Structure 1
Amino acid sequence: MIFRRAHHVYYYLDIIYNAGTNKFVISQEFTVNSFARQKILSLIDSLGGTGRVFVQTHDFPDPDALASAFALQKLFKARGLNSTICFEGFMERGALKEMCSHLGIEAFRSDEVSMVEKDRVVIVDGCKHNRNVTDLPGEEVAVIDHHEVERPEDVSYCDIRPNYGSTSTIIYDYYLSMDEIPDRNSATAMMIGLLTDTAHLSRGCCREDVEAFAGLWNLADMDYVRHCTSNNLSLEDLSFISDSIGKLKTHENFGFIYLENSCARNLLGIMGDFFLGMKELDFVVLASRHERGISLSARSELRKWNAASIVRTALQGRGSGGGHADMAGGFIPGEVSEDELFNSLKSALFSLNF
Structure 2
Amino acid sequence: MFEQSALQRSREFSSQFIEWLRGKGTVLIVTHDHPDPDSLAAAMALKHLILVKTGQRSTIAYGGVVGRGENRVMVEKLEIELVPLEELDLQQFQVVCMVDTQPQAGNNSLPADCKVDLVIDHHPLRESCRDSVWVDVREDYGASATILLEYLLAQEITICTKLATILFYAIKSETQDLGREWSRADRLAYLHLLPLSNNRILFDIIHPEVPRDYFAAFSLAIRNARIFSDVLVFNLYEIGNPDIVAEMADFLLRVDRVKIVLGMGHYQEDEILSFRTLLPDIRAGAVMQEVVAGLGTAGGHGMIAGGQIRSVDKDSTSQNDLEETLTERLLNCLKRPVGPGQPLVVS
TM-score bracket, normalised by the shorter chain, equals 0.7 to 0.9
Compute the displacement of 1:78 (Å). Answer: 1.2
CA distance in 2, matches of 1:304, 1:35: 28
Q: Equivalent residues in 2 for 1:41-60 (5 A)? A: 41-60=15-34
Runs of 5+ consecutive residues of structure 1 not aligned to the other structure: 1-6, 12-31
Compute the displacement of 1:46 (Å). Answer: 2.2
TM-score, length-scaled by structure 2: 0.88
Amino acid at match of 2:12: Q
CA distance in 1, matches of 2:102, 2:209: 26
Q: 2:98 aligned with 1:147, yes or no?
A: no
Q: Who is 1:186 aligned against?
A: 163
Q: For each residue in 1:249-293, what CA deviation from the matched residue of structure 2 results, as whole angstroms up to 9, or x when unmatched? A: 111010000221125232211211111111120000101112332
Instruction: Name the CA shift for 1:340/1:212 in 2 (closer, same or farther; >3 Å).
Output: same
How many residue pairs get matched? 326
Q: Who is 1:293 aligned against?
A: 270
Q: 2:235 aligned with 1:258, yes or no?
A: yes
Q: 2:23 aligned with 1:10, yes or no?
A: no
Q: For each residue in 1:119-138, what CA deviation from the matched residue of structure 2 results, as whole angstroms up to 9, or x when unmatched? A: 21110010012111223475
Q: Could you say which structure has the larger radius of gyration? A: 1
Q: 2:126 aligned with 1:132, yes or no?
A: no
Q: 2:180 aligned with 1:203, yes or no?
A: yes
Amino acid at match of 2:74: M
Which is helix-richer, 1 or 2? Answer: 2
Q: Equivalent residues in 2 for 1:301-340 (5 A)? A: 301-335=278-312, 337-340=322-325
Amino acid at match of 2:280: R
Q: Who is 2:326 aligned against?
A: 341
Q: Who is 1:281 aligned against?
A: 258
Compute the displacement of 1:114 (Å). Answer: 1.9
Q: Who is 1:24 aligned against?
A: none
Amino acid at match of 1:81: Q
Q: Tell me the SS of whatever aligns to 2:19.
A: helix
CA contact (8 A) 2:69 2:208 kept: no
Runs of 5+ consecutive residues of structure 2 not aligned to the other structure: 313-320, 338-347
Instruction: Name the CA shift for 1:312/1:66 in 2 (closer, same or farther; >3 Å).
Output: same
Compute the displacement of 1:198 (Å). Answer: 0.9
Q: Who is 2:51 aligned against?
A: 77
> Which of 62, 70, 86 pairs up with 1:87?
62
Q: For each residue in 1:218-252, what CA deviation from the matched residue of structure 2 results, as whole angstroms up to 9, or x when unmatched? A: 21112322332344854330111101110001110
Amino acid at match of 1:103: L
Q: Equivalent residues in 2 for 1:60-71 (5 A)? A: 60-71=34-45
Q: Who is 1:15 aligned against?
A: none
CA distance in 2, matches of 1:174, 1:50: 20
CA contact (8 A) 2:161 2:197 kept: yes
> Which of 70, 74, 83 pairs up with 1:108?
83
CA distance in 2, matches of 1:274, 1:34: 39
TM-score, length-scaled by structure 1: 0.86
CA contact (8 A) 2:27 2:93 kept: no
Q: Tell me the SS of whatever aligns to 2:4.
A: strand
RMSD: 2.1
Q: Who is 1:27 aligned against?
A: none
Q: Tell me the SS of whatever aligns to 1:331.
A: strand
Instruction: Name the CA shift for 1:182/1:256 in 2 (closer, same or farther; >3 Å).
Output: same
> Which of 122, 147, 150 pairs up with 1:173?
150
CA contact (8 A) 1:187 1:220 kept: yes
Q: Tell me the SS of whatever aligns to 2:177.
A: coil
Q: Tell me the SS of whatever aligns to 1:201.
A: coil
Amino acid at match of 1:55: I
CA distance in 2, matches of 1:248, 1:8: 44
CA contact (8 A) 1:50 1:118 kept: no
Which is strand-richer, 1 or 2? Answer: 1
CA contact (8 A) 1:56 1:122 kept: yes
Q: Tell me the SS of whatever aligns to 1:55.
A: strand
Q: For each residue in 1:300-352, what CA deviation from the matched residue of structure 2 results, as whole angstroms up to 9, or x when unmatched? A: 01133221121111111211111111110011123452211211111111169
Q: Tell me the SS of whatever aligns to 2:165.
A: helix
CA contact (8 A) 2:25 2:56 kept: no
CA distance in 2, matches of 1:266, 1:135: 19
